[in-house]
Every structure is written in structure tokens, then in C-alpha cells.
Amino acid sequence: MNPHAPPSVDTSTALWESRLPQASWLEALPHACALISLNGNAIQISTSNMIFLRAMGSWPDNEPVETALTRACRNVLSGSLPGSTLTWEQGGFSGRVYEATISPLNGEDAEPLALLSLVDHTTLIRSEANLRRELLSDSLTGLPNRSGFGDVLEARLRHAPPPGQTLTLLIVDLARFSRINESIGALAGDELLITVARRLRQQTRGSDVLARIGSDEFAILSQTRPAEDGARTLADRMRAVFRDPFRIGELLINVDCAVGGIAALSPPAPDEEPDAPELIRHAQIALKQAKRGEGVAFYEPVALARLHKRFDREHALRQAIDHDDIGLAFQPLVDMKNRRVIGFEALARWTHEGEPISPGEFVPIAEDSGLILPLGRLVIDKAAATLARWDERLGKPMPVGISVNVSPIQLARDDIITVVQHALERHQIDGRRLIIEVTESSVVRNPDTADAILRALTDLDVRIAMDDFGTGYSNIASLQRLPIHTLKIDRSLVAGIDTSADSLAIVRTIQRLAEALGLRTTAEGIETETVAQQVAAIGCDVGQGFLFSRPLDPDAAFDAWQRSQGR
């Protein structure tokens, strides 16, 4: 008799009827049960209930599983084990799955006898498998979700790729998807995502893994050539998916994307486990760089260090704003006819742990984090407060104004009118002494809203200057319509008028345009006497730049004004 074969069972009705008196108590049990004993080295079924007979009658010839079950039965019957429990799978996933328990029943002198019971766990196990599949899948596209992709990523990292290949992780982010979703509706947005997933799948190979890991983010795991060449080729292939518009119903929608990734995934050390969330986070760091750059970027360790520094800076900036640790510097605005100081531009200054932080560093952080709103309010209030202190020091209203830059984010999201009104009222400053500087792009982005806000500010007697003019999108019609008082000619144009005929021609054109529209002009970035003379000859009203003065603290700015007045 084959010791590894399942116990031989006769499921005939006659055999069952012959054993009915002995099996009656087994029949009362709700699971498949049998009394087993040893016949030499073979397992013999003494009696069983009908449920057991049906289960045994359908056992396949599955050597590994039956060997494990048979061995456990033999060990319990021989006394090697006090009992045993194991999982017995019948015919793979298409069959049944049981929890098999073998319990000895014999006394010391009795023939070895044991109770074998089979508890059917098939429904539970299949339900768990289905639930896990649902938990690891995106219900919209049918692709793995973030958790499912993480499991696959960690599994792939545990095995080295074939020679000449390396693992590449890419994340594809749909540009402006939230705005598209708002415009065409959620159902159409879902259809767009399904179509994007289908196109991306067409660009992947059978061994690649495509997943949807966010509302508008897809991840690809692929084996590519070593180094960045293969990864870059894959990224370019994914971006090519978005060259043609997507047809959603009767709409044709153009969608762009950014791709960030890790060009060569390194397997973990032997004593470490793969960390999929960390790798995905690294790819998303590269994705942020891609959005700010050319659309494709790959992670470098130095990028993580920069991100940590940026996060620390953001935290410190938030504290500085909360504790009123942001200062102002004031760069003089000079009348080009007599070189007298007639006003100042207020510039935010921040010193952290004794180190001056450049506005070029902390202003973008403020804009990205939303801190630009409290920062902007603080600057406006401090500018008005400085005018009040200068008035007190002079003993009367000082005949100068202060210009304050307002970012496009402030103009779009903050109640800038209320902020300015409160600052003027709080410090009892005439609105004509405050100049709000806005950029061309912030006005062009939403001209109707910008027009309403700027007109409300002029109702407070505040003057409006268009900053960095000559590099943006303004046209004559918008300048005629908007309540602009001053055009500030961008420093990139002013600095080149003594060496570039084009810059000189542009500055002259802007000056003639301003004169035709009744606007004043301020030339920014004057650093040499030659440029200053040319600016004055062209007819610019006001000059600003290092030739006249660098930004000054409030007391030094007051003294500079007094000196320019001959006092």
C-alpha cells in the first residue's frame, strides 16, 4: 500500500449502512469527521459520517498535500504528536479548502485511534481573497491601487532583475486634472481616467506593472536598460500618450502630464525589507521637480536633502510670521529730474538663526505653502506702521509713499481690500501714500476680478502700479481699462539700454505708451550713471536701483530721505 496516498474510502451505500450504528454519533457532528487507525504503516478509516465520505471521495491525487495530511495522521496515531492541525487544500483554488484536525482518542492499552475532522473554510478564504483583491485594486480602472502597487514593488525588489536590466519606477501626474474634472463633470472625468489608463497600458509590456496610486497619478514599474537612458526612454514613451487629445463623448480634451521617477531601483540590504512607500515618495519628489521643469525628472539623493531643508524653512517661516519676526527694508524711489527721494518700496526681510534668508528662497516657499497670505498681510500692516512712525518722527505727515508688492495668490485668494483698509485705519494713514504693486500675469489671469479689486482699492485712494512691465502679457486695452497709475519698467530691460538697441527701443516705447495713457513710469534696476542718464533722457519719472541706494532699514531710510531734501 502506498503510504503517501489518501486513505482508501468506499463510499458505497452498503458500506455506509453497515457502519451506521457505529457512525451515528459522528453523523451528529456538523463537519466531515472520521475515526482513523493504523493498518501497518497505512492509514485506515474505521468509520466516518457522510459529509466526510463525500469529501474523501473527491480528493485528488495531490502528492504534497496528501503527504502532509497522511504524515500528520501517522504521527498522531503513532504517538509522535499529541495532536495536529493543518490546512488541506483540495484541488487548488477550484476545489475546497479545509482545516484538518487530528485528535488521539485511544487510551494507553487500546488500539491507536484518532478523530480526523475537516472544517470547510473555502467560503471564508475565498471571501478574504476577494476582499484583499478589492482592497488592492482601483475600482474605477481595475488597476492595482497604491497599496497593491506597493506590495508588487516590494516583491519585485526582493529578487534581482536579469543581467543587463534594472527596475525603473515612474509616476505620471495629469496636469490640471481637478480643473478639468470641475469643467466636464465627475462622470466624464472618470471616463478620462479610464481612457488614460488604457493608453498607458498600451505602452507597457506584459512584465510591466501599471497602477493608479492617486486621483490623478499613475505608477509604472518596468525592467529597463541600466542607468537613465532606458528610464528616460520609458518616460518619454509615457508622455507621448498625451500628445493626442482625448475624446470624451463629443468633447476633445487636451491633457498634459509630468513624469517623475527613480532610474535604477537598488535592492535592499540582506538584513533589510523593501520600503515601497519611501521609494514612491522619492519618485514624487522627482515629480515635483518635473512639474517645475521640463516635464521629466529623476530622483537624486540631494533632492531629498533639499526637500528636508525646504520643509525646515517652511516651519521656521511659519513661526517667524506668527511671532512677528519678519522685517522690512526700504529701497528709495528717486525723482529722475532732481534725484530726490520721493518714496520707497517695502521689501520683506527674514533672518533665521542669525542668517539672512534671501527673498528668492523664502517667498517661493511662502507661495507654495499658502504662507504668502499671512506674510502679505504682515508686510502691508508693517508698511503702514512705518509711515506712521516716520510721521511721528518728523512731527507731520511725511510726503512720501510706500510701495508694497502683492502676489497673484494674494490677489486671487485673500480679501486684499479689507487687509489694506484695516492697515490704513489702524495706523491713520492716507490711502494716497500706499502704492500696491501687481504683476501683469496676476491681472491677465482673471482680468474681471482684478479690475474689481483694483477699483475697490482706488476707492480707498490707494494707487496701483504694474510691476515688471514689459515682460508679461498686458495690452493697451487692459491698460486703458484698469485703474493703473504707474508702470514699473522691468529691470531686465532697463539694465540693458546702454548696450542693447532692442532694450532701448522697448523702454522708449513703454515711456511713450505711458505718456499717451497719462501714466507715470518707474525704471527698475538702475545700477550705473550711464543708465540713469539715459532713463532720464527718455523721460522716465522715477528711478530705482543700487546706484541710488540698496534697501535700508526704517531709520536709515528716513535719514536718506532727509538728506535728499537737503536737511
Cite the beta strand spans of 407-462 per DSSP E: 434-439
pLDDT digits (tens, 9 = 90+) for 197-252: 999 999 998 889 999 999 999 999 998 766 557 788 889 999 999 999 999 888 88
Please check whether residues 272 and 342 belong to one and the same domain: no
Q: Are 173 and 242 in contact (CB under 8 A)?
A: no
What's the CATH code of the domain at 156?
3.30.70.270
Residue whose grid cell is 475515526: 35
pLDDT at 365: 92
Is residue 476 situated within a structural domain?
A: yes
Which span out of 27-31, 109-113, 279-283, 402-406 was modeled with the highest average pLDDT?
402-406
Q: Which amino acid is at 427?
A: H
Is residue 7 situated within a structural domain?
A: no
Please check whether residues 73 and 156 belong to one and the same domain: no
DSSP-based three-state secondary structure for 346: strand
User: What average pLDDT does range 248-258 have in this prediction?
Assistant: 89
User: What average pLDDT does range 364-387 have in this prediction?
Assistant: 95
Please check whether residues 84 and 173 belong to one and the same domain: no
pLDDT at 496: 86
Task: Report which secondary-structure segment, H or E, holds 32.
Answer: strand 32-39
Residue where a domain terminates, one of 126, 150, 179 = 126
User: What average pLDDT does range 363-382 have in this prediction?
Assistant: 94
Burial of 410 per CB tally in 10 Å (0-12, 13-18, 19+): buried
All three cell numbers of 176, joined, read 490640471
Is residue 479 situated within a structural domain?
A: yes
Task: Please report which confidence band the pLDDT of residue 6 belongs to, taking 50, 70 and 90 as the band edges.
Answer: very low
Task: Report which secondary-structure segment, H or E, holds 397.
Answer: none
How far apart CA 269 and CA 256 sit, in angstroms, is 38
Residue where a domain terminates, one of 95, 126, 157 = 126
What's the CATH code of the domain at 321?
3.20.20.450
pLDDT at 10: 41
Task: Please report which confidence band the pLDDT of residue 303 belongs to, taking 50, 70 and 90 as the band edges.
Answer: low
pLDDT digits (tens, 9 = 90+) for 397-419: 999 999 999 998 899 888 999 99
* Closest C-alpha to 542, from 487, 501, 499, 492: 487
Please check whether residues 163 and 247 belong to one and the same domain: yes
How far apart CA 494 and CA 535 sit, in angstroms, is 8
Name the average pLDDT for the chain. Answer: 85
User: What average pLDDT does range 275-302 have in this prediction?
Assistant: 87
Please check whether residues 145 and 21 belong to one and the same domain: no
Domain count, the chain: 3
Please check whether residues 335 and 242 belong to one and the same domain: no
Is residue 353 situated within a structural domain?
A: yes
How far apart CA 15 and CA 9 sit, in angstroms, is 10
Please check whether residues 282 and 321 belong to one and the same domain: no
Please check whether residues 175 and 276 belong to one and the same domain: yes
| C-alpha atoms less than 13 angstroms from C-alpha of 261 in its C-beta half-sphere | 31
The answer on pLDDT for 60 being more than 90 is no
The answer on pLDDT for 84 being more than 50 is yes
pLDDT at 469: 85
Please check whether residues 386 and 247 belong to one and the same domain: no
pLDDT at 3: 38
Please check whether residues 209 and 141 belong to one and the same domain: yes
Is residue 157 situated within a structural domain?
A: yes
Is residue 254 situated within a structural domain?
A: yes
Domain that holds residue 144: 136-299
Task: Please report which confidence band the pLDDT of residue 7 belongs to, taking 50, 70 and 90 as the band edges.
Answer: very low
Q: Torsion over CA of 194, 200, 206 and 207, rounded to 10 degrees?
A: -110
Please check whether residues 268 and 350 belong to one and the same domain: no
DSSP-based three-state secondary structure for 72: helix
Secondary structure letter of residue 78 according to DSSP: T
Sheet containing strand 84-89, strands side by side: 42-48, 32-39, 113-120, 97-104, 84-89
The answer on pLDDT for 511 being more than 90 is yes
* Closest C-alpha to 234, from 172, 279, 284: 172
Please check whether residues 284 and 323 belong to one and the same domain: no
